[in-house]
């Protein structure tokens, strides 16, 4: 008498929600381990300073402190002329960003290499990249709409960036506004933070949490935190859908560059 072998038991992956065999050590779709890390018995407790998530939070707190320090220094009395004040403000901004570069480098060394994950979804990469790049214009429109509505409630004329308005587009302006944030903010929020969080929670939760962290990192402009968090969500999904950090870096650069160009023209 012959019989067929029983079908392997199946369940749903805790990260991507797709059917996954319980006999496999990891999800064939997203690479998630069969059980959450939090369900295993770790060598150190979940609140131990040695855990990668704790290290991410520690360095995030240090980045918040640099932002607050920058805000305190930038609120000092303005210089005699707008151009002199803008140059002082830009030098201060670059100095704080160089501190952030050191912090991000230290964070990557302390946190270690996060788990590697397969990209999420079956959309061909060329369509992911094309859609994401075109989506930058939607993000810009949402950003403009948000601040327009916010300005209607807060009152007063539309705010303009004093540095770009006074100095125009210079190499140092491009570095401070476009290059440094696109590289080092993405390295921290969409690599160290997002990939570390994906090891202990679902991909959607990790994208949202890392995006909220990204918004809070701009605490110097508190009214902009909600829209920046939304932009962070878009960058996060670009990261997990493409499987590459280069895409959110490109999107971040383009988004900031288009804002700088608009400020220079206005």
136 closest CA partner among 265, 258, 246: 258
Instruction: Give the containing element (helix H, strand E) for 10.
Output: strand 10-12
The answer to whether residue 156 is domain-embedded is yes
The answer to whether residue 10 is domain-embedded is no
Query: ∠ CA 134-126-206 to the nearest 5 degrees?
Result: 75
Token representation of residue 68: 């607050």
Question: Model confidence over 88-144: pLDDT tens digits?
Answer: 889 999 999 999 999 999 999 999 988 888 889 889 999 999 999 999 999 999 999
Burial class (CB in 10 A: 0-12, 13-18, 19+), 239: buried
**Can you give the pLDDT at residue 15?**
63
**Can you give the pLDDT at residue 65?**
94
Question: Model confidence over 152-193: pLDDT tens digits?
Answer: 887 655 667 888 888 889 999 999 999 999 999 999 999 999
**Can you give the pLDDT at residue 154?**
75
**Can you give the pLDDT at residue 118?**
87
Q: How many domains does the chain divide into?
A: 1
Only one residue has tokens 């570095």, namely 175
Question: Model confidence over 196-247: pLDDT tens digits?
Answer: 999 899 999 999 999 999 999 999 889 999 999 999 999 999 999 999 999 9
Domain around 247: 48-265
The answer to whether residue 107 is domain-embedded is yes
The answer to whether residue 88 is domain-embedded is yes
The answer to whether residue 224 is domain-embedded is yes
Token representation of residue 105: 């480098």
175 closest CA partner among 94, 260, 251, 87: 94
**Can you give the pLDDT at residue 44?**
43
Dist. CA 92–CA 126, nearest whole Å:
40
**Can you give the pLDDT at residue 100?**
96
pLDDT classification of 50: cutoffs 50, 70, 90? low
The answer to whether residue 261 is domain-embedded is yes
- pLDDT of 29 above 80: no
The answer to whether residue 81 is domain-embedded is yes
The answer to whether residue 3 is domain-embedded is no
**Can you give the pLDDT at residue 3?**
52
């Amino acid at each position: 008498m012959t019989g067929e072998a029983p079908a392997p038991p199946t369940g749903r992956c805790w990260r991507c929600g797709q059917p996954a065999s319980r006999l496999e050590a990891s999800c064939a779709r997203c690479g998630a381990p069969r059980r959450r890390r939090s369900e295993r018995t770790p060598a150190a407790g979940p609140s131990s300073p040695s855990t990668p998530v704790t290290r991410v939070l520690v360095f995030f707190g240090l980045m918040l402190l640099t932002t607050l320090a920058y805000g305190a220094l930038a609120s000092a009395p303005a210089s005699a002329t707008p151009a002199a004040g803008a140059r002082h403000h830009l030098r201060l901004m670059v100095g704080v960003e160089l501190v952030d570069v050191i912090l991000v480098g230290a964070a990557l060394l302390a946190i270690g290499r996060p788990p590697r994950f397969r990209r999420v979804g079956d959309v061909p990469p060329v369509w992911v990249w094309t859609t994401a790049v075109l989506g930058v214009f939607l993000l810009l429109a949402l950003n403009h709409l948000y601040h327009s509505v916010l300005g209607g409630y807060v009152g007063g004329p539309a705010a303009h960036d004093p540095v770009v308005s006074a100095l125009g587009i210079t190499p140092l302006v491009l570095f401070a506004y476009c290059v440094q944030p696109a590289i080092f903010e993405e390295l921290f929020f969409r690599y160290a933070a997002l990939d570390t969080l994906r090891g202990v929670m679902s991909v959607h939760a990790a994208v949202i949490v890392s995006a909220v962290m990204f918004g809070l990192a701009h605490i110097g402009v508190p009214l902009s935190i909600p829209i920046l968090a939304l932009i962070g969500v878009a960058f996060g999904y670009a990261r997990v859908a493409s499987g590459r950090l280069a895409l959110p870096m490109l999107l971040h650069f383009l988004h900031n560059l288009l804002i700088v160009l608009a400020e220079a023209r206005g």
